[in-house]
């Protein structure tokens, strides 16, 4: 299943967590969250030798985009082996799709500083990779806690940080301690709280070494045809880390009118922006609201309500009830139903909110448009409803009920007793106007495109 974030919302989030002292090798701090978010920048690399056998494998990460292609830095020893070979890359959000990559450049010579190469592949149309992701050179020093992305065939991120033990003054090669790497981690980015600090070039668990990001940047800029578009993480605009859940799970999520994925959904959004949000799942009442994204982490949870029907008139019933989002104006829910009755009389359709014990909730929050009274039997009846979710925390279901509408003359002449009965009979016989409170509702608002 694809996990690409469509639209402009999918950019880097910087979680609002307190940084622990740099001397502590700590678990799941800000650097861990940065690494989790940067998996979208990382690709898994596999190779195929001339004889068809599998060659070495490793990882790489995006450094630029140009002419519809993504440029990926990795280690030379992964992509250049004995004899001609093919290289393939897979993205975190589409890991089963292996695209053949084009070899672009590689350093020559010997030693760790020469272990650098660049591949390119066509850019997936839905991929929003993170440009704000690198750490400043002055932050690359011992004993900075670090993580990495990629081990074996997975975009693995350790929960416990290792650390920078030493950084060469001239060559800028880092020795790393206590990182649980394994063979096949070459090319993986090394991450600190401040962003990418380097790339692993030696994936021996006993001796883990990495090239610093400033050395990689300088090398790539020597190749004039290779774009370098990475920017400091510290310059990233304020972001929201969104962890969206629903009950039940599996609801289709639309953010700003674009399908993002299904719940549970973890993504990032630009902060201080309001996003139209809808959640839909077949057979349930959809959610339509506005998400006001604030900097930091948000964990909204929504309950999609079940649908019930009821009738206070034995000859009438409701069938084929549907709660759907209006396609053009998704802030409104269209309630559609078929009214079935043996009598050609007028009926009143009501909507009630129930808690988990099927007890009606006292308030009926929201705004209605369209007719719910004076309805005659037929198919395709409907009205519009804009719920107020701020007052519906305990709601578990929506009940749509129908009852025969009492004519106004019965109220005028007493409503009960003989007079009321005669008046009611007369009203039904002559089909007089409906009861008090049955005035027509204003028509639905004019359709207008939702905000994009």
pLDDT tens across 216-271, in order?
999 999 998 999 999 999 998 888 889 999 999 999 999 988 888 999 998 888 88
For residues 47-53, average pLDDT: 86
Closest CA to 354 of 401, 321, 320: 401
CA distance 198 to 188: 9
Q: Is 80 exposed, middle or buried (0-12, 13-18, 19+ CB in 10 A)?
A: middle
For residue 236, the model assigns a pLDDT of 87
The length of the chain is 452
Q: How far apart are CA 123 and CA 126, in angstroms?
A: 9
Residue 178 clears pLDDT 70, i.e. is over it: yes
Cis before 248 (ω within 30): yes
For residues 349 and 434, the answer to whether their CB atoms sit within 8 Å is: no
CA distance 99 to 446: 47
Give the pairing type, strands 132-134 and 231-232: parallel
Please provide the average confidence, as pLDDT, over all residues in the chain.
Answer: 82
Please tell me the predicted confidence (pLDDT) of residue 10: 37
The rounded distance, in Å, linking the Cα atoms of 159 and 374 is 63
Mean pLDDT, rounded, for 165-187: 89
pLDDT band at 301 (very low <50, low <70, confident <90, very high): very high
CB atoms within 10 A of CB 288: 22
User: Which tokens in the block code for residue 75?
Assistant: 């280690």
Which pTM value belongs to this model? 0.58
Tokens of 162: 């290792």
Closest CA to 251 of 297, 298, 283: 283
Rounded to whole angstroms, the maximal C-alpha distance in the chain is: 108
> Which of 112, 107, 42, 40 is CA-nearest to residue 79?
107
- Edge to edge, the sheet with strand 316-325 lists 316-325, 333-341, 378-386, 367-369
Using pLDDT thresholds of 50, 70 and 90, give the confidence band for residue 447.
very low
Please, what is the Cα angle at 192 between 189 and 194, to 5 degrees? 110
Q: Quote the pLDDT of residue 364.
A: 66
Q: For the chain, which domains are there? A: 30-234 (2.40.10.120), 239-303 (2.60.40.1120), 306-405 (2.60.40)
Rounded to an integer, the average pLDDT of 292-319 is 92
Q: Does pLDDT of 367 surpass 50?
A: yes
Q: For position 171, what pLDDT does the model report?
A: 77
The strand order across the sheet containing 252-255 reads: 258-262, 252-255, 273-280, 287-293
* Res 6: pLDDT: 38
pLDDT for residue 147: 97
- Is the pLDDT at 19 greater than 60? The verdict is no
Q: Is the pLDDT of residue 349 over 50?
A: yes
Q: How far apart are CA 165 and CA 174, in angstroms?
A: 7
Task: State the pLDDT confidence band at 28, using cuts at 50, 70 and 90.
Answer: very low
At 4 the pLDDT is 42
Rounded to whole angstroms, the Cα distance separating 449 from 452 reads: 8
State which H helix or E strand residue 297 sits in.
strand 296-298
* pLDDT grade for 80, boundaries at 50, 70 and 90: confident
Nearest one of 190, 145, 185 to 165, comparing CA atoms:
145
Residue of 441 and 374 predicted with greater confidence = 374
CA–CA dist 146, 349 (Å, integer): 62
């Amino acid at each position: 299943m694809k996990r690409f974030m469509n639209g402009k919302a999918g950019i880097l989030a910087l979680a609002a967590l307190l940084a622990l002292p740099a001397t502590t090798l700590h678990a799941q701090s800000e650097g861990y969250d940065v690494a989790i978010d940067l998996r979208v920048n990382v690709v898994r690399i596999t190779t195929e030798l001339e004889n068809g056998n599998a060659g070495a494998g490793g990882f790489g990460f995006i450094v630029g985009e140009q002419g519809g292609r993504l440029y990926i830095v990795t280690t030379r020893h992964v992509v250049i082996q004995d004899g001609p070979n093919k290289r393939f890359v897979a993205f975190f959000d589409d890991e089963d799709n292996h695209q053949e990559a084009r070899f672009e450049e590689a350093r020559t010579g010997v030693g760790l500083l020469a272990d650098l190469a660049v591949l390119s592949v066509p850019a997936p149309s839905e991929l929003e990779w993170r440009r704000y992701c690198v750490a400043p050179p002055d932050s690359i020093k011992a004993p900075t806690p670090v993580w990495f992305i990629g081990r074996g065939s997975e975009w693995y991120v350790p929960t416990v940080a290792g650390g920078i033990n030493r950084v060469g003054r001239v060559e800028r090669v880092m020795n790393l301690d206590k990182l649980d790497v394994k063979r096949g981690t070459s090319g993986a980015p090394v991450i600190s709280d401040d962003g990418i600090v380097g790339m692993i070039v030696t994936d021996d668990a006993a001796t883990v070494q990495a090239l610093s990001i400033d050395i990689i940047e300088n090398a790539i800029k020597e190749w004039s045809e290779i774009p370098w578009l990475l920017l400091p993480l510290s310059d990233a605009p304020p972001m929201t880390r969104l962890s969206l859940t629903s009950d039940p799970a599996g609801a289709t999520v639309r953010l700003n009118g674009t399908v993002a994925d299904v719940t549970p959904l973890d993504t990032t959004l630009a902060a201080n922006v309001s996003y139209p949000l809808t959640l839909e799942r077949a057979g349930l009442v959809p959610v339509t609201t506005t998400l006001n994204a604030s900097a930091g982490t948000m964990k909204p949870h929504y309950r999609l309500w079940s649908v019930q029907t009821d009738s206070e008139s034995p000859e009438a019933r409701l069938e084929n009830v549907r709660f759907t989002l209006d396609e053009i104006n998704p802030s409104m829910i269209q309630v559609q139903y078929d009214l079935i009755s043996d009598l050609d009389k007028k009926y009143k359709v009501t909507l009630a909110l129930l808690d988990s014990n099927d007890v009606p909730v006292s308030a009926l929050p929201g705004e209605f448009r369209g007719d719910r009274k004076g309805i005659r039997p037929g198919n395709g009846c409907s009205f519009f409803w804009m719920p107020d979710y701020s007052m519906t925390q305990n709601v578990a279901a929506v009940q749509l009920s129908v009852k025969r509408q009492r004519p106004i003359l019965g109220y005028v002449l007493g409503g009960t007793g003989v007079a009321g009965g005669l008046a009611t009979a007369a009203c039904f016989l002559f089909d007089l106007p409906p009861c008090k409170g049955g005035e027509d509702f204003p028509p639905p608002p004019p359709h207008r495109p939702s905000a994009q």
